[in-house]
Amino acid sequence: MVDRRQHWETVYSTRAADQVGWFQPHAASSLRLIEGSADRDAHVIDVGGGASVLVDDLLDAGYRNLTVLDLADSALAASRARLGRRARSVQWIDADITRAELPAARYDVWHDRAVFHFLTDPADRARYVAQVLKSVKPGGHVIVAAFGPGGPLQCSGLDVVRYVPDALHAEFGAAFRMLRHETEIHRTPAGGEQEFVYCYCRRI
């Protein structure tokens, strides 16, 4: 079995960033949800951010305390190259989210689009939730977007878990209050459609 890191390094080193199925020219829903929950000096982490342009959109919007974490260093390198000098103001963490050493009570906003749904092992999901509990400030916001019940069973050749909003919220538990959820149909560069569920919670 190819390990996770090797899988994603291969994806990003063999495919153009704007040709992968999850590519968005702008991370419009994520940006809107983050802008609705946090002011410009908030500490925001994009978990499994890959080569997403969310970090560009957040910098353009005036956010100053940004962290992007991913286990594929080639994806982070692509984002750094795209941002040029602006990359210096971002903290980049090359790590697996189920094992990363994150600071305690640091983040006002935790964002994840299309990462949690790859955690098919309940033990990995528990490790992920423990990371959120440790590193998101009480009162902070957690935005997780996963494939919805009408979404694909796999992404990038890997199995995923699909969620209705209540089931996604239930993975996080009573320490998180769901403020709202949204469904979005993502159009892939190849012309396909994927149903995403965005779950927007507050850490109590």
Task: Give contact residues for ligand SAM (rule: CB under 6 A).
Answer: 4, 8, 22, 48-50, 52, 70-72, 75, 96-98, 113-115, 118, 155
Contact of 183 with 148, CB cutoff 8 Å? yes
State which residue, 118 or 172, has the beta carbon closest to ligand SAM: 118
User: Residue length, the chain?
Assistant: 204
To 10 degrees, what angle do helices 165-172 and 122-135 make?
Answer: 70
State which residue, 66 or 97, has the beta carbon closest to ligand SAM: 97
Residue 78 CB, shortest distance to ligand SAM, in Å, is: 10
Q: Kindly compute the dihedral angle of the four CA atoms of residues 51, 54, 55, 60, in this order, to the nearest 10 degrees.
A: 140
Residue 182 CB, shortest distance to ligand SAM, in Å, is: 15
Residue 75 CB, shortest distance to ligand SAM, in Å, is: 5
Which residue number has the CB closest to ligand SAM? 50
State which residue, 41 or 121, has the beta carbon closest to ligand SAM: 121
State which residue, 50 or 151, has the beta carbon closest to ligand SAM: 50
Q: CA–CA separation, 71 vs 74, rounded Å?
A: 9
Q: CA–CA separation, 94 vs 8, rounded Å?
A: 12
